[in-house]
Amino acid sequence: MCGIVGYIGKQKAAPILIEGLKRLEYRGYDSAGISIIGKNKITTIKSVGKVSSLEDKIGGKSIAGNVGIAHTRWATHGKPSDKNSHPHGDCKGNIFLVHNGIIENYIELKSSLAKKGHKFKSETDSEVIVHLIEEFNKKLDFKNAVLEALKLIKGTYGLAIINKKEPEKIIAARLGSPLVLGIGGDEYVIASDASAVVRHTNQVIYLEDGEVAVIEKDNYEVTDIKDKSKNKKITKLDWSIEEAEKQGFDHFMLKEIFEQPKAIEDATRGRLVVSEGTAKLGGLRDVADKLRKLDRIIIVSCGTSYYAGLVGEYMLEEYAGIPVEVEYASEFRYRKPILDEKTAVLAISQSGETADTLEAIREGNNKGAITLGIVNTVGSTIARETTAGVYNHAGPEIGVASTKAFTSQLSVLILLTLLLGRQRQMSYVMGKRIASEMKKIPKQVEEILSQSKEIKKIAKKYLKYKNILYLGRKYNEPIALEGALKIKEISYIHAEGYPSGEMKHGPIALIDENFPSVFVVPKDSVYEKNISGMQEIKARGGKIIAIATEGDKEIKKHADDVIYIPKTLEMLTPLLSVVPLQLLAYYVGTGLGYDVDKPRNLAKSVTVE
């Protein structure tokens, strides 16, 4: 959730840390802070609000020092305030740290430390860690003090720690919260993810749970918590800083919406085999025999990824003939899931670090299931801990509200459906038809994007409403749910996604002239059923925006506004129907004056339970 960054090298640390925080701000923006080791002192500056507020507070000050840490916060323990902002310091101002995660036993640790004379300044769980290190540092060196403190902590953490007594050193540690170490020629950057590293180097190592990195100006070492040395593989990042820039768009979200034709193409490039009516997924090659023997698939995910899983359920059951369940990852391990070697637990996660989804995968591993991943971030924890998987290759997604990651997830699920379907009963003719139509999707998405000005005009008409109902059926029921989530996330309008067939069983009571609906109603097998639902709404005075198939003139009799999508196969319509809903949400959010890249109370990657 929170973003942490540390720098050690020959350059001034402060500008690099501030720039890194800006790239990590999508992880949290309740407050921000920075600590720099200078000559015989540590300078710490904090501010409530976004990183820009911290930058304003620093002003023209030149903070000397080549070693430092910084933090942008998503509040868990304690409201956003200067005292609760990171970095947190010890009693004497010698040790400072930044923390991403939750310390579950902080109350008992805090009580014990208070009895020993430690004075606490914040309401956070994080501050306990720095005082614990301080206590051990009375008798042990910096590194061993950290190691001993970590042995007493229960919970999750990504940590970067500095100590005035050993000024040319940063210690980083990970348990459940991601950390990546960027390795430059004469500098190192430690961060929550690669977006804060890639400007300086494309050579990185990913810390695993239970690992500790001691980073100095000319070298680094990685050990476990018992100080046993670890050999770490250096990974080369496959994307550049330019991919994480806005490139002329007003917001990252809009840029990423417009990147979807490329994201879909990249997800399928080299994998979609039209001539054979199938897909080739190299990441699943080693488990091909196990996939043939599957009795069922359980998809685990959260948020937007969960809705991608719901679409995948329709695809896999209809075309691959495999029973599929879709579970909220946050609930999965708290049940008693019945798993075996003929069950696949498929995790879908943009970041590959979602704590709930990771724990669901670990539950699957523990119980002997095949674990698979659809992940966007190369080298992420879920990618490493699953048996096999497929990367989206969508590139960095900075906007908190997911757009291109969602459509790339759908693209991979279509490929998976082709692969598993052709292993089973799917005919060559059907496989080739799906693959051929899939090839057309990027161009069809471009056609929808060309209507953005018209969609903006429609959005303007609906800025005054406080509630919206999103409705769809079959493949597009999850798209209704996703459309409602998007507008909730970035415009703060109450929206509810619902299966259109269930509307008459309760939600229709809400409909009046002040409660509009968005109907996802392409020309598909449930078209007539959806038209009946639209008529029920119109009979009660409700306004309707329809997402309909090109050439459908009949729909104008039932809707106040229509946005058209190109014709495609029913199973592929979600890739098209979601795009106007993303644009609609974007233009409503910006029309109301909100920063849609940083919606309130949200963070991009949820790395705490």
Q: Catalytic residue positions? A: 2, 604
Which tokens belong to 597?
Answer: 């890249």
Which residue type sits at 519? F
567 and 504 Cβ atoms separated by less than 8 Å = no
Q: Measured in whole angstroms, how far is the alpha carbon of residue 219 from the centre of its chain? A: 32
Task: Report how far residue 103's alpha carbon sits from residue 481's, in angstroms, rounded to the nearest whole number.
Answer: 34
- The strand pairing partners of 467, in sequence order, are 494
Which tokens belong to 444?
Answer: 């069809």
Question: For residue 114, what is the DSSP state?
Answer: H
List of residues 6+ apart from 107 with CB closer than 8 A: none
List of residues 6+ apart from 532 with CB closer than 8 A: none
Decide: helix, strand or coil at residue 316: helix
Comparing CA positions, the residue from 137, 190, 132 lying closest to residue 163 is: 137
Give the relative orientation of helices 477-491 and 303-315 as an angle to the nearest 10 degrees.
170
Comparing CA positions, the residue from 589, 591, 580, 595 lying closest to residue 460 is: 591
- Please return the burial class of 191, using the count of CB atoms within 10 Å of its CB with bins 0-12, 13-18 and 19+: buried
Task: Report how far residue 303's alpha carbon sits from residue 329's, in angstroms, rounded to the nearest whole number.
Answer: 10
Q: How many CA atoms lie within 13 A of 557 on its CB side?
A: 6
Q: What would you measure as the largest C-alpha separation in the chain, in angstroms? A: 80
Task: Report how far residue 78's alpha carbon sits from residue 313's, in angstroms, rounded to the nearest whole number.
Answer: 40
Task: Report how far residue 348's alpha carbon sits from residue 366's, in angstroms, rounded to the nearest whole number.
Answer: 19
Alpha-helix runs per DSSP H in 259-379: 260-268, 288-292, 303-315, 329-332, 355-366
Task: Report how far residue 318's alpha carbon sits from residue 323's, in angstroms, rounded to the nearest whole number.
Answer: 9
What secondary structure does DSSP assign to 128-143, as a single string?
HHHHHHHHHHTTS-HH
Q: Taking the CB of residue 442, how many other CB atoms lie within 10 A of it? A: 20
Task: Report how far residue 191's alpha carbon sits from residue 179's, in angstroms, rounded to the nearest whole number.
Answer: 6
Which residue type sits at 25? E
Q: Taking the CB of residue 328, how many other CB atoms lie within 10 A of it? A: 16
Residue carrying structure tokens 């696949």: 344
Which tokens belong to 195?
Answer: 């977006």
Give the relative orientation of helices 573-591 and 404-423 as an angle to the nearest 10 degrees.
170
